Amino acid sequence: MLSKRYTAMLSEKDIIFEIAGYGRQRAQEIGADNVFDFSLGNPSVPAPPSVNQTMTDILRERSSLEVHGYGPGMGLPEVRDTVAQSLNRRFGMNYERGHIFMTIGAAGAVAHALRAVTEPGDEIVAFAPYFPEYRPYTAGAGLNLRVVPANVDTLQINFEALEEILNPKVAAVLVNSPNNPSGVVLSTPTVRRLAGLLEEKQREYGHPIYLISDEPYREIRFTGVDSPYIAACYPNTITCYSFSKSISLPGERIGYLAVNPAAEQAEKIVEVCPQISRTIGQNGTATLMQLTVAKCIEETSELSIYEHNKDRLYRELIRDGFTCVEPGGTFYMFPRSLEPDDVAFCQQARELELLFVPGSAFGCPGHFRIAYCVPEEKVIRALPRFRQLAKRYGK
């Protein structure tokens, strides 16, 4: 019999893909140039040329059996060493191979982290606005997601609301900085305050509260933004990383999980990960991609394009009368909608061929997400439409 659980998920429409689907349909009707699709977070800059070159070299130099064969469930030892050394060099940490587990993107890393430190029925805390996939990630592990409402003026953490939600059933707190959908980066004072509060609650509850730090946008940080390495501020941190955005490889499905060596049972957390892989049927990651990212570990795509788009769009939006917390990274922006109903607002925008995702999809109504990972010329041509949209609301 077909699974009721997954059939039910079919009816919980994925609004982002629904909007992107509409964008494709509209592009066929009126031409792609006339649709301003800001719905999807797909990198718009290619991978650095060295990535393809590295892959070609690996295929030429290594044996087919080695590159295409099964690898160790944890990931290749030399790749895990390279990841650890790179993090140590860049962030003053002391990771070793035993703290690194190679994953299928950040999604795979979060799925493993959530299972490694919880029991079904535990609570996981996340902060609005949050990545919508946190719902299926947590539900799939039998966990209850508790969402801390946003502090809409700063989009930093709403500590009063967090304190109300924390309780002994909370096994982990999930943070995402730089953030999808807002682009906001948690500042050093915010992260320190969070760390202090979690330390206090761990003592009070008598068990660890892990901080799962989902960081696929770590490399997309804008000039001068205070952006701490979160694991350096709180020992019980599990960092989830992806090469999807930093080197524009979302389709290659490669990332890693790094457990702070100072975390409780750090090595054991990594040791259980391949057992989790067995239960979810996601054993190992592609050898070719592991070898490639290890060779390109500190490279990035031409990420400055995103900051350029952000500067132009943010300046114009503020001039047009929108309110928005200025992003510190990513390729997203999360302005307030010009009417309380963010879905109705996005519908108004649609009439001008501007496609956005309503904030309610991220647990933060009254806002909308602009994914500005599009060519610069598209941003420039969209600006008059933003102005028209603002005028519709008397701005």
Ligand X SMILES: Cc1ncc(COP(=O)(O)O)c(C=O)c1O
Site of interaction with ligand X (CB under 6 A): 41, 105-107, 131, 176, 180, 214, 216, 242, 244, 250, 255
Residue closer to ligand X by CB (options 257, 389) is 257
Smallest separation, CB 107 to ligand X (Å): 3
| 216/235 with CB nearer ligand X | 216
DSSP output for 264-288: TTHHHHHHHHHHHHHHHT-----HH
Nearer to ligand X, 138 or 180 (CB): 180
Backbone angles phi, psi at 308, to 5 degrees: -60, -50
Q: Are strands 368-371 and 357-358 parallel, antiparallel or unpaired?
A: antiparallel
The one-letter code for the residue type at 220 is I
Q: Residue 144 phi/psi, 5° resolution?
A: -105, 120
As measured in angstroms, the least distance from the Cβ of 106 to ligand X is 4
- 131 or 222, CB closer to ligand X? 131
Least distance (Å) between residue 112 CB and ligand X: 12
Between 183 and 255, whose beta carbon lies closer to ligand X?
255
Q: Between residues 109 and 389, which has the closer beta carbon with respect to ligand X?
A: 109
Closest residue to ligand X, based on beta-carbon distance? 105
Q: What's the closest the beta carbon of residue 256 comes to ligand X, in angstroms?
A: 11
Give the C-alpha separation, 20 to 361, whole Å.
Answer: 14
Residue 348 and residue 250: Cα distance in Å, rounded? 31
Residue written as token pair 């999808």: 180
121: burial class by Cβ within 10 Å (0-12, 13-18, 19+)? exposed
DSSP string of 46-108, one letter each residue = PPPHHHHHHHHHHHHHS-HHHHHS---TT--HHHHHHHHHHHHHHH-----GGGEEEESHHHH
Question: Considering only CA atoms, which of 363, 325, 327 is closest in space to residue 342?
Answer: 363
- Supply the minimum distance, in Å, between the C-beta of residue 383 and ligand X: 26
- The residue among 255 and 329 lying less far from ligand X, judged by its C-beta, is 255
What is d(CA 206, CA 197) in angstroms, rounded to the nearest whole number?
14
State the nearest-atom distance from the C-beta of 355 to ligand X, in Å: 17
Least distance CB 140 / ligand X (angstroms): 14
Distance, in Å, from the CA atom of 301 to the CA atom of 104, rounded to the nearest integer, reads 20
